[in-house]
Structure 1
Amino acid sequence: MSELTKILLVDDHQLIIEGILSCLKNIDGLEIETANSCDEAFSKIKSNIQITPFQLVFTDLSFDNQSQNSNLDGGEALIKAIQEEEISIKVGVITGHSETNRVFNVIHNLNPSAYILKGNCSTDELNFAIQKMLKGEVYYTHEIHQKLLKRALVEIQMDDVAIQILKELPRHAKISNLEGLIKKNDGSLLKVRSIESKLSKLRTDLQANNNTDLVLKAKELGIVD
């Protein structure tokens, strides 16, 4: 008989846990435990290290049931705690958070082995993710993968002038007001025509309908605050 893969599922909504469990029950070879808070999850992970350690943990990012006494206030804090203690366990994220900037920061800073969206979660996807994680590989759901590619492409296209324009644009009623504020790399100032040309290219690159839409998309991508 082959050894079971021990998984910890962490979410503060019991209905979500039940939904994910209904998918996981159709996958052979799993032993699954659950936790409703990050503190409880971390305690279970540590207490099982010397007995039968968890091989995988799937956690949400946001938890609404945290109190002032909670040590770990969300999924990011749980992942950081696991990494700081150098616990040998593969961590995956199952969440509703699909905002490009949030996704990018979690993956860039924490490097989870999987990033799956709750709305598209299925038995097949979970099984595929689990097999990839057990092999030491990474799995991101298709939508997340596309967002990361778009973010990387936009970063390549961005330069200091573009970022200056995007930061200043919401502060001024007219584009002409930006003249004298935007500097090129050599320190010289951009004329209005050059600023308008740059804005046109940015709208095309980010597929924005207008300058207001452009700023919103730049914020979504985390290019500007």
Structure 2
Amino acid sequence: MSKKIKILLVDDHQLIIEGICSYLKDFDNLHIESTNSCDSAFSSIKSSLPTIPFDIVFTDLSFDGSTNETIDGGESLIKALQKEEIPIKIGVITGHSETNRVFNVIRNLNPLSYLLKGSINTTELTFAIERMLADKPYYSHEIHNKLLKRTLVEIQMDEVAIQILKELPKHTKIANLEGVIKKPDGNLLKIRAIESKLAKLRTDLNANNNTDLVLKAKELGILD
């Protein structure tokens, strides 16, 4: 008889936990526990180590009313588990789909899976678990596309492009950027070259105008 897979669900909304459990009701050899608290999750994972440890933890990122907890959110929970080198496979199930948030969580914390609450279903969740058990990553389709787009944008961004995007919100006229933007050799960029670069940036980021360009750059995490 194959070993039971032990999973911990961490979310402060009980309905979400119940929904996830319903998706997994037909998954064989599965033992699921849940908690609404990151402190409780960390304690449960650590206390299980000497007996029957958890194989997988799925956590949300944001937790309402967690200010009184030592571990105040999913990112903090992942960091705590990684700091103590606890052998558990980590997945994220969250509503956060902002490109910059997604990119930073995956780049800095490297969870094996990143799933979105709004689109998750039995097939995807089952597949994600199977991938995780094989130590292979799985990101939902939307998350995968966001990561791909962010990577492509980073490849296209050079020092001049970053300067222009950062200076653009500070000036009412494009002409004011002349004398501000510098080339890698230190020389100043002329207005025609700035306008040409802006046109390319609008195309690359699929922006309708310069205001939209700044919004797109912020959404992608290029600008704060």
- 1:199 matches 2:201: no
Instruction: For 1:114-193, list aligned pairs within 5 A.
Output: 114-193=113-192
- The SS at the match of 1:120 is coil
Report the residue type matching 2:123 in the other structure.
D
Report the residue type matching 1:88 in the other structure.
P
Report the residue type matching 1:73 in the other structure.
D
- 1:23 matches 2:9: no
> Whole-Å Cα distance in 1 between the matches of residues 46 and 120 of structure 2?
28
Maintained 8 Å contact 1:38/1:72: yes
- 1:113 matches 2:112: yes
For residue 11 of structure 1, what is the aligned residue in structure 2?
11
Deviation at 1:29, TM superposition (A): 1.4
> Whole-Å Cα distance in 2 between the matches of residues 120 and 42 of structure 1?
27
Deviation at 1:192, TM superposition (A): 0.8
**Runs of 4+ displaced beyond 4 Å:** none
Maintained 8 Å contact 1:26/1:123: no
> Whole-Å Cα distance in 1 between the matches of residues 26 and 203 of structure 2?
45
- The SS at the match of 1:119 is coil
For residue 55 of structure 2, what is the aligned residue in structure 1?
55
Deviation at 1:65, TM superposition (A): 2.6
Maintained 8 Å contact 1:55/1:90: yes
Report the residue type matching 1:99 in the other structure.
E
> Whole-Å Cα distance in 1 between the matches of residues 120 and 26 of structure 2?
13
CA displacement, residues 49-104 of structure 1 (integer Å, 9 cap, x when unaligned): 00100000000000003133x11010000000000010000000000000000000
> Whole-Å Cα distance in 2 between the matches of residues 59 and 24 of structure 1?
16
Deviation at 1:224, TM superposition (A): 1.3
**Which 10-residue stretch deviates more, 21-30 or 136-145?**
21-30
Maintained 8 Å contact 1:63/1:75: yes
> Whole-Å Cα distance in 1 between the matches of residues 27 and 146 of structure 2?
29
> Whole-Å Cα distance in 1 between the matches of residues 27 and 169 of structure 2?
51
Report the residue type matching 2:32 in the other structure.
I
> Whole-Å Cα distance in 1 between the matches of residues 190 and 67 of structure 2?
53
For residue 214 of structure 1, what is the aligned residue in structure 2?
213
> Whole-Å Cα distance in 2 between the matches of residues 45 and 75 of structure 1?
14
TM-score by length of 1: 0.98
CA displacement, residues 156-197 of structure 1 (integer Å, 9 cap, x when unaligned): 000000000000000100000001000001111011111100
> Whole-Å Cα distance in 2 between the matches of residues 176 and 129 of structure 1?
51
- The SS at the match of 2:118 is helix
Report the residue type matching 1:63 in the other structure.
F
- Give the alignment's Cα RMSD to 1 decimal: 0.6
Report the residue type matching 1:45 in the other structure.
I
Gaps of 5+ in 2: none
> Whole-Å Cα distance in 2 between the matches of residues 29 and 212 of structure 1?
53
> Whole-Å Cα distance in 1 between the matches of residues 65 and 49 of structure 2?
26
For residue 103 of structure 2, what is the aligned residue in structure 1?
104
